[in-house]
Structure 1
């Protein structure tokens, strides 16, 4: 396994990120633990989750599954991984939602981090990520809460998820005024099919020294061999791949993609992940295996080198949108 530094920090993380969204809703605790065992054995040290993962009726369950795994490995297991989770959505029992139990107010951030620490059975969260933009909470309030958590040792770094480029800039400029480290990573949807992040999000991340962590690297299974039904389908449960395939012109592009890789004897899902590893600013894609076998396929992508002929053909099938403002103006 290769490692890289997370953005401008000194933190070293694996170039494959273990996503845990399937733990609970699609993969039971025993098999989830087996996947984490296999990932750690393979050298994957970057684990990503969220306080809302676990299914609509069991939000927080995924963190609990991870916490139980950590508790059975002692301090040595915990110290081998970089643990990332998120805050934004509500995690109320039986759908109960109180007014201050979501978003990024100082009130909710404080209570949410303590709840995550309890479920994860750990004393710290290495990367605490804002799962979405909160348009109603002042940025200075958010940083005041985060700075306090850093001082308390409850979190080490802060990251964003689903932020536009301007929000990355605004948030880090606010941190700079406070003398804070600011955001060190951005987790965004980015893959061969969905390349809009290249317009402004990735340039902003690079300008401010954020590592980019793509989610849905197979676009809901669309890039995982969906026409042959042999893909990994990291977000298959959302139906994103099937819904996108039904759009005009998409099936033809995916057929060309699968035909190209078939010609070169390459697996679609592995190529989609390997392509992301060639992109500037990308720390590593998040893979969300439901089985240990799917994890094995994803790990092969980290060892795959794509030739110039394949890379050029991929650009022709999935052309870039280009950087801003050139993408939409002279």
Structure 2
């Protein structure tokens, strides 16, 4: 495994992040533990989760599975850089919602940190991330809550997820004014098929020393060899990939992508991950395996060396938007 600094921090993280959203809803406890053991054994030290993960089997369930894995000991917790998120409403399904049980008020941040710590069976969270922007809570209040938690030793760093570029700037300028450390990471949708983050999110992150953690690197399976799997009858396409493939122009691009990689003898999913690792500002794409085999495939991407010729061909199939403002102005 290769490692890099997380943004401007002194923290070293693996070039791949283990995403855990499937743990609980699609992967049972034992198999989830096996995947985490395999990831740690391969040198993956950055694990990502969220308080709401586990939705279909119960919000918080994913954190509980990670917590029971930590409880097995063997240095598991000490070796992991643990990231979780706060924002979504944690009221159990079927129960009436209650004020202040979501978003980023100081009250909800305090409540949800304590709840995540209990589920995760740990005394601290390494990176506590805002899962979405909160248009109702000022950053002055958010940073006051975060600084208190840092002083208490309950979190070490703060990160963001799904923030536009101007909110990354606003968050860190407010932190600078208050003497807070500010955001150190941003999780954003970024892959070959969706490159909007290149316009403003990634440049803002780079300017503020914020590590970029792309989520959905295979775009819901679209970049994982979906057409070949369809043809072989080994996969029935659903969800986001099916909706995208229903568009003729998208299907044509995906077919060109798969044909190109077939010519080079490469696996689409591995190339999609390897491509992200070549992108400026990218720290560690999130991979969310449902099985140990899927994790093994993702790990191969770290050692994959893409030629300049291949990178140019990928840009022709999936052109990026270019930087702003040139992408929409002169």
Could you tell me the TM-score, scaled by structure 2's length?
A: 0.96
Deviation readout 1:80-130 (Å, 9 max, x if unpaired): 010000000011223432111000000000000000000000000000000
The answer for the alignment partner of 1:49 in structure 2 is 49
- 1:162–1:142 distance in 2 versus 1, CA, 3 Å: same
CA distance in structure 1 between the aligned counterparts of 2:55 and 2:130, rounded to whole angstroms: 19
C-alpha separation between the residues in 1 aligned to 2:212 and 2:73?
29
2:273 is aligned with 1:262? no
1:135-154 alpha-carbon deviations (Å, 9 max, x no partner)? 00011000000000000000
User: Taking structure 1 as reference, are residues 238 and 180 closer, same or farther at Cα in structure 2, changes over 3 Å only?
Assistant: farther
Could you tell me whether the CA contact under 8 Å between 1:57 and 1:94 is conserved in 2? no
Rounded to whole Å, the distance in 1 between the matches of 2:237 and 2:116 is: 24
Local SS of the residue matching 1:137: coil
Instruction: Decide whether the 8 Å contact of 1:147 with 1:180 is kept in 2.
Output: yes
Give deviations 1:260-304, integer Å, cap 9, x for gaps. Answer: 000000000000000000000000100000000000000000010
Unaligned segments of structure 2, at least 5 residues? 231-235
Looking at structure 2, the residues matched to 143 and 85 of structure 1 have their Cα atoms a distance apart, in angstroms, of 17
- Cα distance in 1 for partners of 2:21, 2:57 equals 14
Specify the alignment match of 1:162 in structure 2: 162
- 2:80 counterpart of 1:90: no
Is 1:240 the equivalent of 2:240?
A: yes
Following superposition, which runs of at least 4 residues in structure 1 exceed 3 angstroms of deviation? none
Query: 1:24·1:62 contact (CA, 8 Å) conserved in 2?
Result: yes
Instruction: Encode CA deviations 1:164-192: one digit per residue, 9 max, x unaligned.
Output: 00000000000001111100000000000
- Secondary structure of the corresponding residue to residue 176 of structure 1: helix
- Separation of aligned partners in 1, 2:188 and 2:139: 20
> What is the SS of the residue equivalent to 1:249?
helix
The residue number in structure 2 matching 1:284 is 284
Query: What is the distance in 2 between the residues matched to 1:176 and 1:46?
Result: 27
Q: Which residue in 1 is equivalent to 2:300?
A: 300
Stretches of structure 1 lacking an aligned partner (at least 5 in a row):
231-235
**Contact map agreement 2:68 2:120 (CA 8 A) in 1:** yes
Counterparts of 1:125-144 in structure 2, within 5 Å, are 125-144=125-144
- Whether contact under 8 Å (1:3, 1:12) holds in the other structure is yes
Structure 1 residue 237: deviation in Å? Answer: 9.9
Q: Contact (CA 8 Å) 2:85, 2:129: kept in 1 or not?
A: yes
Helix, strand or coil at the partner of 2:303: coil
Deviations 1:284-327 (A, max 9, x none): 10000000000000000001000111111000000110011001
Q: Distance in 2 between matches of 1:173 and 1:259?
A: 46
Using the TM superposition, give the Cα deviation of residue 229 of structure 1 relative to its aligned residue in structure 2, in angstroms. Answer: 1.9
- The answer to whether 1:10 aligns with 2:13 is no
Say if 1:56 and 1:119 are closer, same or farther in 2 by CA, change over 3 A. Answer: same
The alignment covers a number of residue pairs equal to 324
Match of 1:20 in 2: 20
Tell me the distance in 1 between the aligned counterparts of 2:119 and 2:33.
15
Shift of 1:258: 0.1
TM-score after normalising by structure 1: 0.96
Instruction: Encode CA deviations 1:18-74: one digit per residue, 9 max, x unaligned.
Output: 000000000000000000000000000000000000023501000000000000125
**Root mean square deviation of aligned Cα:** 1.3
Match of 1:80 in 2: 79
Report the Cα distance in structure 1 between the residues aligned to 2:56 and 2:290, rounded to whole angstroms.
18
CA distance in 2 between partners of 1:224 and 1:137 (Å): 39
- Which residue of 1 is the match for residue 221 of structure 2? 221
Alignment partners' CA distance in 2, 1:177 and 1:89: 28
> Contact 1:16 / 1:46 at 8 angstroms: preserved in 2?
yes
